[in-house]
Amino acid sequence: MSTLTQKVLQEKLSTDATFRAEFIANPKPALAQIGLIYPDSTTVHVVATGFRDVALIVGGEGMYTEKHLESMPPQMSAVITRSFVDPGFKALLLSNPVEALFLEVGYRVPDGSTVRTYEATEKDAYFLIFDGAKPLDAEELSDLELDQVSGGGRVVNLMTDTAYLNPNPI
């Protein structure tokens, strides 16, 4: 997906409530409205995450390029990379992501936060969208939360409202 297409999608999602609702309910036709067509064999998923939530897309090694891994916060990259090479860790990450995050990078999930993992194949396209605003009474962000907000790469990027994994349209 080109940077221009990403910007168009981000703009539509943040300014057009009808488009956003259509995108969440049935993403392929909504994406087609902006010229992004996926083959019938691709399943397009939309996952809405809250301010304090973490969403991880776990797939095979080919799901992320070295450039994408390098663009992620180091903690996120370590978790994703280990899931490629350690089937036991990948299973733990999918079944109990809170424990897996603590074991791999020492991250303790704050109270009120959720961690969700999704297992993707090469036939999946994931769009993670930030759903909600920072609570007015929220305390300062932790280092990991700052990393997630400022540079989650293709896994989570809350600053742009949308993140992409394996978006390979026709």
pLDDT (0 to 100) of residue 143: 53
pLDDT-based confidence at 26, cuts 50/70/90? Answer: very high
pTM of the model: 0.68
Which sign, positive or negative, has the C-alpha torsion 54, 19, 133, 148?
Answer: positive
Distance CA 22, CA 31 (A): 9
What range does the domain containing 152 cover? 44-165
Q: In which residue are the tokens 């860790």 written?
A: 89
Counted residue by residue, the chain has a size of: 170
Structure tokens at 63: 């799901």
Confirm whether 149 is domain-assigned. Answer: yes
Through-space distance between the first and last CA atoms of the chain, rounded to whole angstroms: 10
Distance CA 84, CA 152 (A): 18
Residue 1: the pLDDT is 66
83: left (phi over 0), alpha (psi -120 to 50) or beta: alpha
Would you say residue 119 lies in a domain?
yes
Q: 23-48 burial, b for 16+ CB within 10 Å, e for fewer?
A: bbeebbebbeeeebebeeebebebbe
Number of domains the chain contains: 1
Q: Is 113 a member of any domain?
A: yes
Is residue 68 domain-resident? yes
68-127 pLDDT, tens digit each: 788 778 888 888 889 988 999 999 999 999 999 888 888 888 888 888 888 888 888 888
